[in-house]
Amino acid sequence: QTYGKWHPDESNRPEIDDAPVFTPTEEEFKDAIGYIASIRPQVEKYGICRIVPPSSWRPPCPLKEKSFWKCTEFNTRVQQVDKLQNREPKKKETQPRVQKKRKRRKKLRFGMSQKLRSAESADQDEKFGFQSGSDFTLEEFQKYADMFKEQYFGMKGSDEISLFEIKQHKEMWRPSVEEIEGEYWRIVVCPDDEVEVDYGADLDTAIFSSGFPKSYLSDANKQDPYGLSCWNLNNLRRQPRSVLSFETEDISGVVVPWLYVGMCFSSFC
């Protein structure tokens, strides 16, 4: 849901250091805890890093299976991007109430039909300070996210630009990663518009599923090298030198991994 549009001339990209990237060898990659310990001194000052597996390591993604992609629903939260720094957007402060309502109705006509959350589920989110969104399957969420991006960046035509022109020059109208980042920071740092996105957060992989195979779910997976891998987040806490190996309970978000499903502009920190 958006009441704004792309302002490429007002792009705002603060100078932020990139997180360090590491590329372990096949031998180093055999020991997840040992490798993490070896790079710790370099990573500590950043608080985050990216580890790129060897090219031979290509685990399957169970979430792409039809039973999950098309059938399994997850809850979303609404994130107000323009309020990530707790500032009211300028247009909201000055815009007359009647005009805002008219604009809202106009935008909703471009929206995608969504299933509403149950009252019980929505109330639970409100208790924790979150605004509940709609329920989606992964397939539905991908369509919704693509539609938002196309509308926001003007890739579906407008009064000024015809859809025919966009199709004729498709690449010209597709924003780059740098342009998307610049627009994101413009919304956050100098909010002129109301911009809301949905994202799936804190999804318990014990209930929803995981991006990695789970070796303990079937005999077939017990022979799967990816199901047994020390880099499989379902197994990481079972590694001998992991402090979590002493925890006997399956604590969600600590021992059991969480899954996050994002779209353009959704943020987590």
User: Is 60 exceeded by the pLDDT of residue 20?
Assistant: yes
Q: What is the pLDDT of residues 25-71, one digit of tens each?
A: 999 999 999 999 999 999 999 999 999 999 999 998 888 888 788 88
Task: State residue 136's pLDDT score.
Answer: 95
Dist. CA 71–CA 137, nearest whole Å: 6
The predicted model scores a pTM of 0.73
| Token pair of 177 as six digits | 């990663």
Task: State residue 102's pLDDT score.
Answer: 35
Task: State residue 105's pLDDT score.
Answer: 30
Do the beta carbons of residue 6 and residue 176 sit within 8 Å? no
Structural domains of the chain in order of their starting residue, each with its CATH number: 8-261 (2.60.120.650)
Task: State residue 141's pLDDT score.
Answer: 95
pLDDT band at 206 (very low <50, low <70, confident <90, very high): confident
SS (H, E, C) 230-261: CCCCCCHHHCCCCHHHHCCCCCECCCECEEEE
User: Is 80 exceeded by the pLDDT of residue 168?
Assistant: no
Q: In sequence order, what are the beta bridge partners of 200?
A: 261
Range name among 21-25, 100-104, 221-225, 242-246 with the lowest pLDDT average: 100-104
Dist. CA 35–CA 25, nearest whole Å: 10
What would the mean pLDDT of 244-256 be, rounded to a whole number?
A: 84
pLDDT band at 260 (very low <50, low <70, confident <90, very high): very high
State the sign of the Cα–Cα–Cα–Cα dihedral 228, 232, 237, 240.
Answer: positive
Higher pLDDT among residues 32 and 6, named by residue? 32
